[in-house]
């Protein structure tokens, strides 16, 4: 089933310095349960595309459906959870109360909030930390808490905008492994923005390579890698071949821009 369908999507921002063509002719289908990474240099429209899916930006051309609905309707139907680059946890709330905040806003009864909070904290292996405050957790743990918050209302789609960009390499590796395992267990359709080629290749079933000025898709790679991916898969010829194709796509996009 197609979860996200973009047809000739265009978005031009009108700015004081003139128009900025952030997305040009973006056509893409994402099917249920896929893990799709968006990779490309700064300004190629990765975040803008995610924001269109989330109905936070309105395209100036083309069509976009999310779960068969207009993005506005999908947002009202709570079709997605959103994870940002900064964990964005409220320092005066415990981890548990941060994670259950969207459920409070949506009016879930207390017992259900507690049950859902416990379940998602267990999913990200933070069940022992529900009563701690954000500053008592490492950066990686805070980011896991923000993933738990996005999962709390069990939306079918997970939108992740560079969630691990600010973390060091070792922590990032571990979170990549955990995210892959989480995705397998929950089967959420995931859209993931990154600047890292290894991260995109390691995580994805599909990699969308983008280039700037104007922001457009230059390559879409269906990953030939198996579902089971230990971290050392990154040293295999299959992995390196996909990484090479992504790198070439990025290079050609830059030359054409
Ligand atoms: N609200 C806005 N108003 C005007 N221009 C914008 C707005 N949002 C984004 N842009 C411009 O649109 C282009 C695409 O931005 P976007 O943030 O989607 O890129 P990106 O690929 O996510 O970049 P990065 O990797 O740096 O996050 C950029 O040139 C940016 O300056």
The string of pLDDT tens digits covering residues 225-246 is 998 899 999 999 999 999 999 9
Do the bridges between strand 61-66 and strand 216-222 make them parallel or antiparallel, or are there none, so unpaired? unpaired
**155 CA to middle of ligand 1, Å?**
26
Domains of the chain: 2-79+157-256 (3.40.50.300), 87-154 (no CATH)
pLDDT of residue 188: 93
| Ligand 1 proximity of 43 Cβ (cutoff 6 Å) | yes
Instruction: Provide, rounded to the nearest whole percent, the portion of the chain with pLDDT above 90.
Output: 72
Residues 116, 82: Cα–Cα separation, whole Å = 17
Residue 166, C-beta contacts closer than 8 angstroms, at least 6 positions apart: 85, 86, 139
pLDDT of residue 168: 82
Q: What is the pTM of this model?
A: 0.93
| Ligand 1 proximity of 139 Cβ (cutoff 6 Å) | no
b/e map 87-108, b = 16+ CB within 10 Å: bebeeeebbbbbbbbbbeeeeb
pLDDT of residue 257: 64
pLDDT of residue 2: 93
Select from 163, 157, 220 the least CA-distant residue to 189.
Answer: 157
| Ligand 1 proximity of 15 Cβ (cutoff 6 Å) | yes
| Ligand 1 proximity of 13 Cβ (cutoff 6 Å) | yes
Measured distance between the N- and C-terminal CA atoms of the chain, rounded to whole angstroms:
34
Residues in the chain, pLDDT under 70: 257
pLDDT of residue 27: 97
ipTM: 0.95
- Say if residues 37 and 250 touch (Cβ distance below 8 Å): no
| Ligand 1 proximity of 42 Cβ (cutoff 6 Å) | yes
pLDDT of residue 129: 96
pLDDT of residue 86: 84
């Amino acid at each position: 089933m197609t979860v996200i369908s973009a047809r000739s999507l265009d978005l031009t921002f009108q700015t004081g310095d003139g128009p900025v063509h952030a997305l040009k002719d973006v056509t893409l289908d994402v099917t249920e349960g896929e893990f799709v990474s968006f990779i490309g240099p700064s300004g190629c429209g990765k975040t803008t595309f995610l924001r269109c899916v989330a109905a936070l930006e309105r395209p100036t051309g083309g069509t976009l459906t999310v779960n068969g609905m207009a993005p506005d309707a999908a947002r009202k139907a709570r079709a997605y959870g959103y994870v940002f680059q900064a964990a964005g946890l409220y320092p005066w709330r415990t981890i548990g109360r941060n994670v259950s905040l969207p459920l409070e806003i949506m009016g879930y009864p207390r017992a259900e909030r507690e049950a859902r909070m416990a379940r998602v904290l267990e999913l990200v292996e933070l069940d022992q930390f529900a009563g701690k405050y954000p500053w008592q957790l490492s950066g990686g743990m805070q980011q896991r808490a923000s993933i738990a918050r996005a999962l709390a209302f069990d939306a079918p789609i997970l939108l992740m905008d560079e969630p691990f960009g600010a973390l060091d390499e070792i922590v990032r590796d571990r979170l990549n492994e955990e995210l892959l395992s989480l995705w397998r267990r929950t089967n959420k359709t995931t859209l993931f923005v990154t600047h890292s080629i290894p991260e995109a290749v390691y995580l994805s079933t599909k990699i969308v390579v983008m280039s700037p000025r104007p922001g457009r898709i230059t390559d879409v790679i269906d990953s030939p890698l198996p579902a089971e991916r230990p971290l050392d898969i990154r040293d295999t010829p299959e992995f390196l071949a996909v990484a090479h194709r992504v790198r070439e796509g990025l290079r050609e996009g830059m030359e054409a821009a």
